[in-house]
Amino acid sequence: MGLLKGLLRARKLLLVISVPLLLLPLPMLHSSSEAACAYVLIVTAVYWVSEAVPLGAAALVPAFLYPFFGVLRSSEVAAEYFKNTTLLLVGVICVAAAVEKWNLHKRIALRMVIMAGAKPGMLLLCFMCCTTLLSMWLSNTSTTAMVMPIVEAVLQELVSAEEEQLVASSAGTEDAEPISREVNNSQPSLELIFVSEDTTTTDSTSLMQNKNLNGVSTVTKPVKTAKHQSKKQPPSQEKPPVLSPSAKTQGVNKKYKSQHDQMICKGLSLSISYAATIGGLTTIIGTSTSLIFLEHFNNQYPAADVVNFGTWFLFSFPISLIMLVVSWFWMHWLFLGCNFKETCSLSKKNKTKREELSEKRIREEYEKLGAISYPEMVTGFFFILMTVLWFTREPGFVPGWDSFFEKKGYRTDATVSVFLGFLLFLIPAKKPCFGKKKDGEDKEPSLGMEPIITWKDFQKTMPWEIVILVGGGYALASGSKSSGLSTWIGHQMLTLSSLPPWAITLLACILVSIVTEFVSNPATITIFLPILCSLSETLHINPLYTLIPVTMCISFAVMLPVGNPPNAIVFSYGHCQIKDMVKAGLGVNIIGLVIVMVAINTWGVSLFHLDTFPAWAEVSNITDQA
């Protein structure tokens, strides 16, 4: 037994050592570039799928195995790890760091909640819209980590408002005592949820840093209140801080006053994860999968100037909008029922005492932010300016600002984002005063020199693991192309030529939707992109007809907590179980798959000219065969 336990503890190390050794006969017996490249690709893919080593560390495998087997030179592999997309990500992260540092996201979220009110249906729609909007520009993980503490605070206000109403209505009756006990017991259970949420194990360190930076004031305030109330309890009612599993489960169940409250908490929590996924689809910088797709596509087809920020947005924005509305209906029907008139009414006459108390507390929380500050205004301006410059660089239907320059093609979306991100390191966080100083203005002279963001702010937000992971994917794709492995894989798939193109795309989308539930999104797209490119070229299908739907469907890993970090964050708050995630996520998955397939066969055809096999794909195919 001791030996077996030791082997189980060292199973990851054994996997890291045994996989390369077991596969070593492949390049030894078949001394060709294709076999050597296949060996490196399989080893890296196994490391990614099993997560025996961190994803970023596994992405470094091609950096030393390709030169070792003579597939690529070391300098050629190194060049794949830092591309134009990396600079785009750097600039976007600078703006995201400023948004998080100055709590602009919190102001936007609370303002939208105030506009929607405390009706469950409108609250659900409001938070989904807010999360979708933020996730267009921030990573899905950061958005979920920032919004969930606000959602949790709102849910606490809803539950506590009903408790106050019940206590007030039951005052002087025999039932007042048991109700008050449930109130006191419910608050410490929330505290336990927050403790487990902070210690949850995810593979994103910056995730927890973002959560601590942005959500601490919103979350810890109710927790402190809970501690304060627990101290007022009689000694006989005090509970130790460490509870048994059964006691912990009992405490979690007691925090809901009714089944309706529990369903509201489930629906609202899960909707944040789904809305973050939907928002990430909208922009090319919204998710790591779309960034990986963009860089791989530009490397594979350098002559193809068809995918940029504008064209991607024109294609994906209707998809996101339709998905948002349909998913809201699905979540509302699943958790709140079909009574839309009652849950979505904006009339003040129909508001209950509970909803009025909740709206009052949310409004007080918003007023604590005070007037919009100078750094928030600067950050918001840069946020809007970056979007406008991206759209107007090459709109397609009219000449963009890039045409004003003599040399064409030198400026990309990364140029804009890096330039604006660089300016955020220079602009002071304190509003400059050019006139006469007022009394007390120079009490804090150090603030005058502090910029909007510092390098430490940038480091806390920058996902370096994703950068290395993306680079590893580029290296694998480059090796597959230069060694001829991608061409060989394409020839093996000629049996699929009897199927219509839409059926091939549908099968690929279903396949990646299943795989990505168990394998990380970046790893999934990195493995499938070279295969799908070869398949499209071999069958003479426009590569975008397959690549774009597959890229979007890979993001639909919403059925399990391990599917992506946003799922793990939402699950850690303790409102939903795995069966709830599977049931709701399956519906969202089907909704997304249907909408993406409809989009690629309607407006996607005219936008990307998908009904013809483009010349830039023919050139790439000839190059691979040569």
Give the lowest-confidence range in 199-203, 533-537, 543-547: 199-203
pLDDT at residue 326, as a whole number: 93
Which carries the bigger pLDDT value, residue 514 or residue 425?
425
Q: Highest-confidence range of 33-42, 331-340, 563-572, by mean pLDDT?
A: 33-42
Is the per-residue pLDDT at 210 higher than 50? no
**Residue 180 — pLDDT band, cuts 50, 70, 90?**
very low
Is the per-residue pLDDT at 177 higher than 80? no
Q: Highest-confidence range of 27-36, 190-199, 482-491, 585-594, by mean pLDDT?
A: 585-594
**Residue 201 — pLDDT band, cuts 50, 70, 90?**
very low
Is the per-residue pLDDT at 594 higher than 90? yes
Closest CA to 311 of 533, 620, 597, 544: 544
pLDDT at residue 335, as a whole number: 86
CB distance 581 to 559 below 8 Å: yes
Could you give the CA distance from residue 571 to residue 294 in angstroms, rounded to a whole number?
31
Is the per-residue pLDDT at 595 higher than 60? yes
pLDDT at residue 535, as a whole number: 84
Is the per-residue pLDDT at 21 higher than 80? yes
**Residue 193 — pLDDT band, cuts 50, 70, 90?**
very low
pLDDT tens across 109-165, in order? 777 777 776 677 888 888 888 888 878 877 777 677 767 777 776 777 666 655 555
Give the lowest-confidence range in 83-97, 225-239, 329-343, 375-389: 225-239
Is the per-residue pLDDT at 574 higher than 50? yes
**Residue 548 — pLDDT band, cuts 50, 70, 90?**
very high
Residues in a beta bridge with 451: 428
Burial of 503 per CB tally in 10 Å (0-12, 13-18, 19+): exposed
Give the lowest-confidence range in 198-202, 249-253, 281-285, 415-419: 198-202
CB distance 278 to 132 below 8 Å: yes
Burial of 435 per CB tally in 10 Å (0-12, 13-18, 19+): exposed
Dihedral pair phi/psi, residue 479, rounded to 5°: -65, -40
pLDDT at residue 166, as a whole number: 53
Burial of 15 per CB tally in 10 Å (0-12, 13-18, 19+): middle
For the record, the structure tokens of 605 come out as: 């055809």
pLDDT at residue 157, as a whole number: 64
pLDDT at residue 167, as a whole number: 53
Mean pLDDT for the chain overall? 74
pLDDT at residue 319, as a whole number: 93
Could you give the CA distance from residue 551 to residue 553 in angstroms, rounded to a whole number?
6
DSSP state of 428: B
pLDDT (average), residues 175-202: 34
Could you give the CA distance from residue 144 to residue 30 in angstroms, rounded to a whole number?
48
pLDDT at residue 550, as a whole number: 92
Could you give the CA distance from residue 497 to residue 490 in angstroms, rounded to a whole number?
11
pLDDT (average), residues 605-618: 84
pLDDT (average), residues 595-606: 92
Which carries the bigger pLDDT value, residue 216 or residue 463?
463
Could you give the CA distance from residue 73 to residue 576 in angstroms, rounded to a whole number?
50
Q: What share of the chain in percent tops pLDDT 70?
A: 73
pLDDT (average), residues 236-245: 38
pTM: 0.62
Residue 483: left if φ>0, alpha if ψ -120 to 50, beta else—which one?
alpha
Could you give the CA distance from residue 500 to residue 506 in angstroms, rounded to a whole number?
10
Number of Cβ within 10 Å of residue 259's Cβ equals: 8
Which carries the bigger pLDDT value, residue 395 or residue 194?
395
CB distance 540 to 504 below 8 Å: no
Could you give the CA distance from residue 596 to residue 548 in angstroms, rounded to a whole number?
9
pLDDT tens across 350-365, in order? 666 666 776 777 787 7
pLDDT at residue 82, as a whole number: 83
Which carries the bigger pLDDT value, residue 515 or residue 445?
515
